[in-house]
Amino acid sequence: MMNEFDMECGSGSVDFGVETDIHHSGVIHHSYHPYPIILGLGGNLGPVREAFDQAIRLLGRLGVTVENRSRLYHARPWGVPDQPDYLNAAIAVRTRLRPLELLWLCLHVEATLGRRRRLRWGPRRIDVDLLLYGNLVMNHPRLKLPHPRIARRDFVLQPIMDLGIPPHHAIAPAGWGALLRALPSPERMIYHAESWSE
């Protein structure tokens, strides 16, 4: 549902042009930074909620701490309508990773859990996507932050709002709610919300 790249990411490394220090623990070490980072989760194949839980556990083992999570949102598919409905959520995390390193880690988690990139916006077991990295604005060939399509997707905006983070100055100067209210009815995909415990 978010940054899409025409690549396969297996268990090996992907060179994003940044230096890393990977120890035997698998954690990439850099100075801890204090700003909230938001990852989006989505999927529509198999037991998606189980895949979310697996992704969170795997992220934790790799040095990404989940501090908060949104409700779970059921939504009609966006972009390619002829596919199963989606489950979506967002998580607030802390990490020592820099943006491109975190992107690589998200791709690694997706691949580990069975994600294969075949059709853009097509069915998938899981997305783990970098939406916001604090207040950072980034325009890199492999990563744009904030995610450029946040404002067009209620199944991204609503989970972000659940997390209670301040609006990002670059895309939501009037607040997250203003973006959500501006979405026309045909672009509203959410039809049900539930807690993780339901």
Does 85 qualify as catalytic in the annotation? no
* DSSP state string for 84-153: --EEEEEEEEEES--HHHHHHHHHHHHHHTT----STT---S-EEEEEEETT--EEETTEEES-TTGGG-
Q: Of the residues 98, 129, 153, 154, which is catalytic?
A: 129
Residue 143 to residue 145: CA distance in whole angstroms? 7
Take residue 101 and report the two structure tokens written for it: 């390193």
Active site residue 188: no
> Would you call 152 a catalytic residue per the annotation?
no
List 69, 98, 124, 153, catalytic entry: 124
Q: Given the residues 69, 98, 115, 153, select the one marked as catalytic.
A: 115
CB atoms within 10 A of CB 75: 23
Q: Is 124 a catalytic residue?
A: yes
Among the listed residues 69, 98, 125, 127, the single catalytic one is 127
Catalytic residues: 115, 124, 127, 129
